[in-house]
Amino acid sequence: MTSLLVDDKDGVRTLTLNRPHKRNALDAELWAALGGALAEAGEDRGVRALVITGAGGAFCSGAEVPVTVSSAHPLYRMRVLTDVALLLHDLPVPTVAKVTGVAVGAGWNLALGCDLVVATPEASFSQIFARRGLSPDLGGSWLLPRLVGLQQAKRLALLAETIDAEEARALGLVTWVVDAGEVDAFTDDVTARLAAGPPVALAQTKSLLNEAGSLREALANEARAQAVNFASADVPEAYAAFREKRAPRFTGDWTPATRSEST
């Protein structure tokens, strides 16, 4: 059985963690497949949005503890997780986590690493690491305080409580809570809107928000991003569509300024 399913439709690539018998726990094979799929998506201009979800009514129950202990130092083994977290963070297209069922430990942080999170009311979440004698990984120590503030991040990480979808939404850890019978259609609508957006501008926007530091740094980064955007065919297309009262057709193509020279 393939541990990661990949599906493309209308510019949206869906990655489905496919180990339902293990509630989609991430083993070595799935880590490698996920890292490869994210790298490929980042290089494919046909991908305009990406969804990560899980099969069989669960999102992901975290990283699977191997039966046999590897002789490799844990720092080397952790590089696999680090690579996946950075690939997801740096992916130039918008990402959506569709969470049904449990999202635990690294599984929850995988969802938090996405730009948007849609969950069903049955979803549950836990930073379970402390119960296992561990500390957060897959970016959780950076993501949590950024999303909920330091005190709530400490509560979730230190007590390792399990929270439901509504509490997660109230804390800002879930973007939408949608009934199970409607979640697929809802996610399809969101990703269709993202896929129809201007790819260069969305990539610049995502990077600006992810990397925001001081106001001075943000202003300098915004200026550089707008320079990139103005070199895109999407800007004149947006203005033309506004004038012509139609939907814009964004491509992300580059349109360098032309120069006429006299002879």
pLDDT at 35: 97
Confidence at residue 1, expressed as pLDDT on a 0 to 100 scale: 82
Q: What is the predicted pLDDT for the residue at 7?
A: 98
Q: Is the pLDDT of residue 44 over 70?
A: yes
**Average pLDDT in the 221-246 region?**
90
Q: What are the tens digits of pLDDT across the range 6-17?
A: 999 999 999 999
Q: pLDDT digit string (tens) for 113-150?
A: 999 999 999 999 999 999 988 999 999 999 999 999 99
Q: Does the pLDDT value for residue 261 go beyond 60?
A: no
Q: State the Cα torsion 52-148-192-53 to the nearest 10°.
A: 20
- Model confidence at 78, pLDDT cuts 50, 70, 90, reads confident
Average pLDDT over residues 54-79: 80
Average pLDDT over residues 33-58: 97
The pLDDT value given to residue 199: 97
**Three-state SS letters, the chain:** CCCEEEEEECCEEEEEECCHHHCCCECHHHHHHHHHHHHHHHHCCCCCEEEEEECCCCCECCECCCCCCCCCCHHHHHHHHHHHHHHHHHCCCCEEEEECCEEECHHHHHHHCCCEEEECCCCEEECHHHHHCCCCCCCHHHHHHHHHCHHHHHHHHHHCCEEEHHHHHHHCCCCEECCCCCHHHHHHHHHHHHHCCCHHHHHHHHHHHHHCCCHHHHHHHHHHHHHHHHCECHHHHHHHHHHCCCCCCCCCCECCCCCCCCC
pLDDT at 216: 84
Q: Is the pLDDT of residue 68 over 60?
A: no
Give pLDDT, residue 262. 41
Predicted local distance difference test score (pLDDT) of residue 77: 75
Please state which CATH class domain 4-195 belongs to. alpha beta
* Whole-number Å distance between alpha carbons of 84 and 31: 8
Mean per-residue pLDDT, 243-254: 94
pLDDT recorded at residue 71: 66
Q: Tens of pLDDT along 177-214?
A: 999 999 999 999 999 999 999 999 999 999 999 988 87
Domain parsing of the chain, residue ranges: 4-195, 199-243
